[in-house]
Structure 1
């Protein structure tokens, strides 16, 4: 017989599959080393001061390095860069362990590298908080490169593109 918590967890994960999210790559660089990972758990916190948050698994390499480096860059990928999302998700690590090898980068002084063509938020870590299996990193935004491109999205276990058939709702 399944435990109620297992059933609830399963239902929770199925429910979250129905939430469309932009796809981003979090990069970090510093004394602990350079790394990057594909994520969809991030959001804006405040415009004053500009602050974002990212959620990373506690047991992940990226979380450990962000915690030690005290910097991260949130790169919101444009919809045509599914290849970068797959690379930083680790799909090709056995063929090429350097995830940065074939990616054009933007150097951000004192911050982690940005990915060319992405909307970039270069951040200093200002606060961390553990919640369950994840660490929440709050980042004060020190650099922004805003691209006017449609983001790559993730929904129901697959990468998706946003269509141009938007509907405007009246107030």
Structure 2
């Protein structure tokens, strides 16, 4: 018998992960972005990543329409940005209050992110409540800094114990 969603959520809180914001831009939906922790590399050759997005949010629809997106890997200085893009009630404020530039593919690249990966959608798979979106990386943008981490439902920073 499978566990319930709440048990699964509690178990995953024991997994420390980096935080990303997935962004896209499409004709019908405009600028879109959301905080995502379900992100992973898929392949080094060709370079591919995946991101999991709940089907109930419109960011997935924008991704499907545009066929492009960016993964913005957040720095330790972007906790406020992470919260803004995670809050469904702050949708209109996301890009007004966040500095960004448009990448070569048209997706927003968030300023001060540790890395931004410009991707082309190569596959979108429906699994349960989510879409698994696989993208091929077309370009990268890198900055110095420390990552923003999420563990036990709270943000954490790397501590230098050397």
TM-score by length of 1: 0.86
Asked if 1:97 corresponds to 2:85, the answer is no
| Cross-structure match for 1:137 | 133
Q: Tell me what 1:115 maps to.
A: 110
Instruction: Tell me, yes or no, if the aligned pair for 1:44 and 1:52 is still in contact at 8 Å.
Output: yes
The match for 1:18 is 14
C-alpha contact 1:73 1:111 (8 A) present in aligned 2? no
Which of the residues 33, 39, 42 maps onto 1:42?
A: 39
User: Normalized against structure 2, the TM-score is what?
Assistant: 0.91
Q: CA-to-partner distance for each residue in 1:33-90, whole Å, 9 max, x for gaps?
A: 2111111000111111111110000111111111111111000010111010011112
Number of equivalences:
160
Q: Of the two, which has the highest radius of gyration? A: 1
Q: 1:146 aligns with which of 104, 119, 142?
A: 142
Aligned partners of 2:27, 2:147: CA distance in 1, in Å?
A: 31
Structure 2 residue 158 is the aligned partner of structure 1 residue 162: yes
Structure-2 residue corresponding to 1:169: none
**Quick one: structure 1 residues 9 and 103, their matched pair in 2 at CA, closer, same or farther if it must change by over 3 Å?**
closer
Contact conserved, 2:31 with 2:108, CA < 8 A, in 1?
no
Deviation at 1:92, TM superposition (A): 5.9
CA contact (8 A) 2:118 2:138 kept: yes
In terms of fraction of residues, the more strand-rich structure is 2
Residue 91 of structure 1 and its aligned partner are, at CA, apart by 6.4
Cα drift, residue 162 of structure 1? 1.4
State the Cα deviation string for residues 101-146 of structure 1 (Å, max 9, x = none): 1211122122301011111001110111111111011111111012
Q: Which runs of 5+ in 1 are unaligned?
A: 167-171
Report the RMSD for the aligned CA atoms in angstroms.
Answer: 1.7
